[in-house]
A = this chain, B = another copy of it.
C-alpha cells in the first residue's frame, strides 16, 4: 500500500519530468519489452548489472587529489557512471533503492562541492576543473549527473532537492559557464561539453537563463554557444574540423543536447538546423572508418578506436530516431545494444526487424569548413581481388585547431583491413599512467604532428606552416577537381601557403584497367612549384618487410638520425640510395601481401629508408618504417608514383603470386604550366595516359593537348586515354 501510494505520488509529481532523454512512458515500455527485444534486454541488463555492483558498495566521494588515471580521478568518473546507470534502472523498474543511491551520492557531492578550490593537479594554460584536473571532465561529470538527477528528481524530497540543486548543480553550472567563461564560449568540443551540460541543467532546473546561455552563448547574442558551434565546427557535409577521432567524442554532447532541446524547445527545430547537419555529422563520421571500423587516424587520434564507441551508440540512436536513416541500422545491429532512451527504444524496435548486413562504405568527397569551401577529405574506395576494398584517404582539410596535424595533401592507404600507407596517429598512450599520465606525449608535438610523420611532401625539412597552428589556421587547401567513375576515382587539390614560396598540387587517382578490373591501384602526382630551389621530400610510411628495390642502396653500420628538427630528428636513417634516371621501385611484404611504390626519378633523386625511434629517450614512439624520395635543389618538381598492391604469399600452400610490381612503363609524357600527362603500362596490358589539368578550371571547360604527336581533346579537368 505504501509502495502504491509512493508510485502514485511520483507519477503525479512527474508530469513534466523527466525532461531529458528518457521519458516516463518509454521507461515503462522498455521495462515491458525487454523480454521481446534482445537489444533492449542486453542494454537494460548491462545498466542493471553496473548499478547493482555500485549499490553493493558504500557511497564514496573523495576529496579531489589525483591527476588523470589516478584514484580520485577514476573514482569521480565511476561515480557519474554509477548514478547514471542507477537512475536508468530506477526509471525502468521504479525500484526505490536505485533512486535512493543516486540521491545519497548527489547529497554527498552537494556537501563537498561548494568548498572546493581549483583542482590541485591542474595545469598551466589548460582550463582547470574542481573535481578533476581539467574542466572538460567537470562538464562530462555534469552531463551524466544531471541526466541521472532528471530521472530520479521526483523521488527526492523537496528539502534534499533544494540542497542538491542549489549546492551542487547551480554551483557546478556556474563554475562551468561563468567561472570558466572562456571555455563555455569556445567554438570547440570542450565548449560543446560545457554548453550541453549546463543547457541540460537549465532544462531540469527550469532555469531559462541557463538554457539560453547554452544555446546562444553567455551574451545570448548567438556569437557563441551551441548554435554557433553547430555553425562553425561542422561543414555542410558533416565533417568536424578536428577530424573523426574528436568528432566521435564531440558527437555525444551535440546529439544529446540537441535531443534535450528538441524535447524542451521543439520550436528551435534543432534537427532541421543547417539542413540537418546533425544527421550528416553522424553519417559522415561512420564513413570515416576503415574496414576494421577504426576511425582514420588523421590529426591527433588513437589508432585502435572504432565506431564501437559508447558515444556512437547514443548518437546513432538519436540520428535514427530523428532522421529514420536505415543506413545506420547495420551499425546499430553490430552494437548489439542501444542507449536506454526514447531514441534507443525506437531504434531497438526498428533494428529488430532489420537485416543483418555489412555496413557499406562508398567513395565520396567530404568538404570541410562551415561553408564547405575549406578543402576536405576524399575517400576513394574500389573493390579488390580479396573481396574487400582498396581504400585511400586524401586529406586536404583545414588545420583542425589544436589537434590538427601538419599533413596538407596527405594520403592514407588501406588494402582491406591492412594499412598500406599509414598515418602515425597521435603519440599518446591514453590513460596509461606510466606514459606521462596518459596525456599527449612530448613526441606528439616533436614528431606525430610534424609533416614528416605523414605521407606528404616536406620542403627543406620544415613542416607545413612551420608546424604553427596559428599559421595553419589562416589558410586552407583548395579542391581543384574530383570525379568518381566506375574505373577511376580522382581528386586533385592544391595548397599554396604551407610554404612561403612553394605551391603544392597533388592529384590522387584510384584506377583499374580494362585488362585487370579487380586490381585497383593508385597514381599519385605531386607537384611542387617554386621560383627558388628547395629540397623536396616525398614521404611514404609503410609497414612490413622490404622485399626488393630496383636500385642499390647503402647502409651504415650504425644508425643515426635523418635530421635535427621538425620530426626528422626522430627518424633513423636505415639506408640511402641514388636510383639514377628512370623508375625507382620499392617493394615490401605486409600481412602476406606484396606492395610496390614505383616513382619516376632523375639523376638528382635520392631515396632514404627510415625508422622512427631516434631521440626518443623514453621509447614513446612506436617503431615504424618509411621510404622517402628526395629531390634536392629543385625549383619545380613533379613526383609521379604508382602505388600498387600486386600479389600474395600463402604460407599454407607455400606459394607466392606476383611478388613484383607489374609496371613496365611509367613516364611523365607531358608537362607545361597547366597540364601534366602520365603514361603507364602494366605487363600484358595496354598503355594508358592520364592527363591532368593542375589549374582550377570550369567543370565543363574544353581542353586540347598534343602529346607525342597525338592530339587529345577532352572536357573537364582530366582525361584518361589508351
Contact = CB atoms under 8 A, between A and B. Distances in A.
A557 interface: yes
**Size class of the A contact interface (CB-based, 8 Å):** 35 or more
A695 B248 CA distance: 61
B659 A434 contact: yes
A354 interface: no
B558 A558 contact: yes
A587 to B, nearest CB: 7
5 contacts: A432-B547, A434-B548, A438-B656, A559-B560, A611-B613
Contacts of A622: 545
A625 B613 CA distance: 12
A592 B306 CA distance: 14
A353 interface: no
Q: Indicate how many identical chains form the complex.
A: 2
Contacts of A587: 434
Interface string A579-613: 00000000101001000000000000000010101
A307 to B, nearest CB: 9
A170 interface: no
A362 interface: no
Given A557-B614, A559-B572, A432 B656 contact: yes
A219 B306 CA distance: 67
Smallest CB-CB A-B distances: 8 pairs: A304-B651, A434-B548, A559-B559, A546-B619, A558-B560, A431-B656, A434-B547, A558-B558
B557 A432 contact: no
Nearest to A556: B558
B431 A649 contact: yes
A141 to B, nearest CB: 16
Contacts of A619: 545-546, 574-575, 609
A262 to B, nearest CB: 28
Most B-side CB within 10 Å, residue of A432, A574, A622: A432
Interface of A: 69, 302, 304-306, 308-310, 429-435, 438, 545-548, 555, 557-561, 572, 574-575, 587, 589, 592, 609, 611, 613-617, 619, 622-623, 625, 649, 651-656, 659-660
Contact of A649 (B432, B613, B653): B432
Contacts of A302: 651, 654
A589 B623 contact: no
B660 A434 contact: yes
A623 B611 contact: yes
B430 A654 contact: yes
Contact of A555 (B432, B434, B617, B655): B617
Question: Interface residues of A: mostly helix, strand, loop or mixed?
Answer: loop
Contacts of A575: 619
B431 A652 contact: no
A647 to B, nearest CB: 10
Given A432-B547, A609-B619, 16 more contacts: A69-B656, A302-B651, A305-B652, A306-B652, A308-B652, A430-B651, A430-B656, A431-B655, A431-B656, A432-B649, A434-B547, A438-B656, A557-B561, A558-B559, A559-B572, A623-B625
Nearest to A615: B557
A546 B557 CA distance: 25
A592 B660 contact: no
B613 A574 contact: yes
Contact of A656 (B306, B308, B433): B433
Contacts of A69: 656
Nearest to A657: B431
B309 A589 contact: no
Contacts of A616: 555
Contacts of A625: 623
A345 to B, nearest CB: 23
A617 B434 CA distance: 36
Contacts of A431: 649, 654-656
Nearest to A573: B558
Contact of A429 (B430, B433, B589, B660): B589
A614 to B, nearest CB: 7
A651 B305 CA distance: 6
A547 B614 contact: no
Contacts of A434: 547-548, 587, 659-660
A429 B594 CA distance: 12
Contacts of A654: 302, 430-431
A587 B546 CA distance: 29
Contacts of A651: 302, 304-306, 430
